[in-house]
A and B are shown apart, each in its own frame.
Chain A
Amino acid sequence: MRGKRHGRLRRAGALLLAGGLALAGSGCGQGAPAARSEIRIGVCIYDEYDTFINRLMKRFSQDVTEWNEGGGTRVSITTGNAAASQTTQNEQVKSMIQEECDVICVNLVDRTDPSIIIDAAREADIPIIFFNRELVEEDLERWDRLYYVGADAFQSGMIQGLEVVDLYESEPRTDLNGDGILQYVMLEGEAGHQDSIVRTEYSVNTILNAGIPMEKLESSIANWNRAQAQTRMSHMLDLYEDRIELVLANNDDMALGAIDEYKAREIPRDKWPLILGIDGTDVGLEALQKGELSGTVYNDKEGQADAMLDLCIRLALGESLEDLPLKDNKYIRLEYEAVTRENVEDFLERAAE
């Protein structure tokens, strides 16, 4: 009698167990990820309307397409545009982590606020390559799988300054009022942005160190934006009219905005001041070619894009990073180059590749 009762229980128990195991097994089977046959890269840019970033991304995409055609492990990219909101960018990075990206490239909106991204990445053990907008060193050192690809901002400022010095010396008409002092206005990128500050500072100091006295008429923030720069330029023209001898802009877009205003006011070309930018975007190079822009500094987007992709692929496949020019095991910096009317053609060709 005892045996019979136990027998029934045992049967029930066995049935339940079998059923549960079968379910768990089938469920697991379905949910298991397919074998890694593809590298997923996530890219978060800070603003898709920033010309430089835009072109950088184009090059990056081209590189990826070439790589895929070359037959390596397939690479796919997911992009996110943060529209200048760090919050949005944080969300984008998080969802890329969830979608199991192998590497994420982040063009940080607010360089003082990378914590959420770094923490999320570290938790998921997904390496991050910051690019173009640089973090403070301390933040980059919070984890050993954080990298930075970009250039040294101070270099661009310096080169811009050197170009001014060259132009000043070679074109005396620069000093419009002949007082021996260079009156200039500054179009800055962002308040508190490191690149902005550094470019501004180094540019001006380089000129000063070359022995050219300067007088700052005005400095405004135009948020790297062409239209805003145009507006600022308009205001500055209202204030200073033709006293402006030099317009220094932290990037080409803003320089072009200044040019737009001069064109809109139909001020004759020979009355224009020197206008210089930084980046060497295609529109900038064209303006330089036309003589509207006086000079720019080439930000090697091709080199950066190539380096980024290379680093991404190596990280994703777990290959060695030894032969990469990694400074401190984290930084890949590319060089800026001066672009003047003389060598602008070369750069135009390079950009067309």
Chain B
Amino acid sequence: MDKRIIRLRDRLYEAAGIQTAIAVSFTLIFSLVIVLLSLVLYSQFSARSRGMNIDSTERFLNQTRTSLEDYLRSMRRFSDAMYYTSIKNSDLDESGLYSELNLMYEANKDDLISFAIFSDDGTLISAVPVSVRKEGADPSSQEWFQAAMEEVENLHFSVPHVQNLFEETAGQYHWVISLSRSIQLTRGGVPGMGVLLVDMNFSRIAQMLARANEDSSYQYIYLCDRDGSIIYHPRQRLIEEGLFREDALAAASRPDGTYENIGSGQGQITVVKTVSYTGWKLISVIPEAGWQLGMGRFRYLVILLISLTLIGVIGITQLVSRQISRPLLQLNESVRDLESGNLYPEIYIGGSREVRHLGQTVEASVRRIRALMQDLVVQQELKRQSELDALQSQINPHFLYNTLDSVVWMIEGGHDQEAVRMIGDLASLLRISISQGRTIIPVADEIRHARAYMEIQKIRYRNTFEVDFEVSPEVESMATVKLIIQPILENAIYYGVREMDGEGEIRVRAYLEGGDVWIDVEDNGIGIPEDQAKRLLTERSRELVHGNGVGLLNVHSRIRLRFGQDYGLVIESEPDEGTRVRIHLPAIPYRETLEAELSSGAGKEGADGEQG
């Protein structure tokens, strides 16, 4: 898997070029990072935000609950105060009570609608502020009365309802929550039971909750009792008309806490808090949809920022990648120029340090290439020249004429056998000279060539000299350049022993020594002066190229061209004593492929392969 990615990446690099590769890589990396970061941050923020929202909702709900509980508690206290301090110990028939009740009412009239004392059969005993009973109203049949009489030990809170007890101004009505309790009372000295009713102003609670619902447009708080009957809900009418669903029972039956999705199809968070003593439940609902809407703006902002940033990133990476790659591309152009054959291209030197260095190196390389190429050209020239020369010598006209003359002379003189031998030697000579166009031949062939040559020369020069060949067998299979011995022999004859009248001796020895092939051509002729000897191999002296063509220098060059600078000719001479010209070759066994291998002038190394 990794390899595939790496391969892909490499292919991308290769195919697209450096600038695009940088741009794409950077863009991808930046984009990935930005998007990842944004997603992570957004989801973190979203979750955090939601958490905070839920926290603050819970806190707010707590506050609301506290306010509600405070209100309810003060009402309970009021009822207690009324009962225990005023009613219990007084006789209701006495009128002093009335002013106490009045006082209490005036002090609390913001929270109360009224309070009243009833006997256990529902007769109104006393009420503040209005005690004019409404015709047709029957207190004993109302829920608060019955509840109080059923559970004498508890205070009872009713659900909100319209007060149906007293005379009102036309059309006026009050929504109340009745706080009722059973009481012991005394009338005219006679103890009995009754009901104390405190009608709390429901609008106080409604306002409290309405204010709590003001702030947010999608989350809301409602109040219900433990059976799920709704006491206050911002959409109460809608629920009744069936236009809105609220599963208050499901929420109210849970213990206090924060829940998801109770009783509704859509996502919502529900926070439940119990109001103490009454068992009412204060419930806050946060619908997900509204929450999503609230986050909507933020989400769009994030997307906007991401896209703007990405556009910026793309622009910047374009710029950066261009900056980086331009010098390289220019350098590349220069190199292409070079490739197309221009040996004098203008190499771009510029950009960063490394690219500069590259450019300079390329420039230097180009120069070296030029130099090498020129060397090569020169060398090829030399080779060509010497081949040409060798070629020339293969078919040296003078030698041919003379030899054929000799043959004719012999035939005319009736020396047929000698003529045949001479023709044979000539054929041998010519054959090897040509050697099918090869320049590398076995030493054996070269020796044969030399022998044939000497035979001819011996006859021509009528035993002016003696020749002796000493060839060790190992050498014969080695490789050599052709036509190297013959020129030396020629020199030996012409410059060495020609004048010596039969006392000249030429010896050719071929042997292996020190891993190399040596072929020595010794003569006991007049020798070469030292200064001349030196110059022989270094200058192109015209004096030594005598009609027959190939000079020592040529041989030396050719050997070195083929086998390297280590090899060639070594001339040792003592004036009047003799001369020894030594041919130094590497010991490379002859094979036919050597022709090609050595033609490039690779030398011993190339031919031998592994051996270095």
Contacts and interface: CB of A to CB of B under 8 A. Distances in A.
Direct touch of chains A and B (CB < 8 A): yes
Interface of A: 1, 5, 8-9, 12, 16, 49, 51, 83, 85, 87-88, 191, 220-223, 225-228, 230-232, 234-235, 238-239, 253, 260-261, 264
Contact of B169 (A226, A232, A238): A226
Given A1-B322, A227-B166, A228-B130, A49 B171 contact: yes
Contacts of A51: 169
Interface in B198-214: 203, 207
B129 A228 contact: yes
Contact of A5 (B109, B172, B318): B318
Interface in B87-141: 95, 98, 102, 106, 109-110, 127-132
Which 10 pairs show the lowest CB-CB distances between chains A and B? A49-B172, A228-B129, A227-B130, A231-B131, A49-B169, A231-B130, A227-B167, A228-B130, A230-B132, A9-B315
B105 to A, nearest CB: 9
B319 interface: yes
Nearest to A218: B99
Contacts of A264: 132
29 contacts: A1-B322, A5-B319, A9-B311, A12-B311, A49-B171, A49-B172, A51-B169, A83-B203, A87-B207, A191-B106, A220-B102, A221-B106, A223-B109, A223-B129, A225-B129, A225-B130, A225-B169, A227-B166, A230-B130, A230-B167, A231-B131, A231-B132, A234-B132, A235-B95, A235-B98, A238-B95, A239-B95, A253-B169, A261-B132
Nearest to A1: B322
Contacts of B109: 223
B168 interface: yes
A261 to B, nearest CB: 8
A295 B356 CA distance: 116
Contacts of A222: 129
Nearest to A226: B169
A182 to B, nearest CB: 23
A88 B172 contact: no
Contacts of B207: 85, 87-88
A227 B315 CA distance: 82
B136 to A, nearest CB: 16
A227 B98 contact: no
Contacts of B167: 227, 230
A5 B315 contact: yes
Contacts of B130: 225, 227-228, 230-231
A206 to B, nearest CB: 27
Overall SS of chain A's interface: helix
Given A220-B102, A222-B129, A231-B131, 16 more contacts: A5-B315, A5-B319, A85-B203, A221-B106, A223-B109, A225-B129, A225-B130, A227-B169, A228-B130, A230-B132, A231-B132, A232-B129, A234-B132, A235-B131, A239-B95, A260-B132
A121 B129 CA distance: 36
A40 B135 CA distance: 43
A191 B130 CA distance: 17
B127 A231 contact: yes
A260 B318 CA distance: 95
Contacts of A220: 102
A5 B171 CA distance: 78
Contacts of A239: 95
A224 to B, nearest CB: 10
Nearest to B319: A5
Interface in B156-185: 166-169, 171-172
Contacts of A87: 207
A68 to B, nearest CB: 27
Contacts of A238: 95
Contacts of A227: 130, 132, 166-169
A233 to B, nearest CB: 10
Interface in B221-247: none
Contacts of B95: 235, 238-239
B311 A231 contact: no
A234 B166 CA distance: 14
A208 B132 CA distance: 34
Contacts of B168: 227
Contacts of B322: 1
Nearest to A16: B308
A51 B171 CA distance: 12
Contacts of A16: 308
A325 B127 CA distance: 47
A12 B207 CA distance: 53
Given A88-B207, A223-B129, A239-B95, A8 B315 contact: yes
Contacts of B169: 49, 51, 225-227, 253
Contacts of B132: 227, 230-231, 234, 260-261, 264
Give the residue among B110, B132, B166 with the most A Cβ atoms within 10 A: B132
Contacts of B319: 5
A340 to B, nearest CB: 26
Contacts of B318: 5
A222 B308 CA distance: 71
A217 to B, nearest CB: 14
Contacts of A12: 311
Nearest to B167: A227
Contacts of B308: 16
Give the residue among B167, B168, B319 with the most A Cβ atoms within 10 A: B167
A234 B106 contact: no
A239 B166 CA distance: 22
Contacts of B102: 220
A224 B132 CA distance: 16
A88 B211 CA distance: 10
A16 B312 CA distance: 14
Contacts of A234: 131-132
A210 B54 CA distance: 71
B100 to A, nearest CB: 13
Contacts of A253: 169
B205 to A, nearest CB: 13
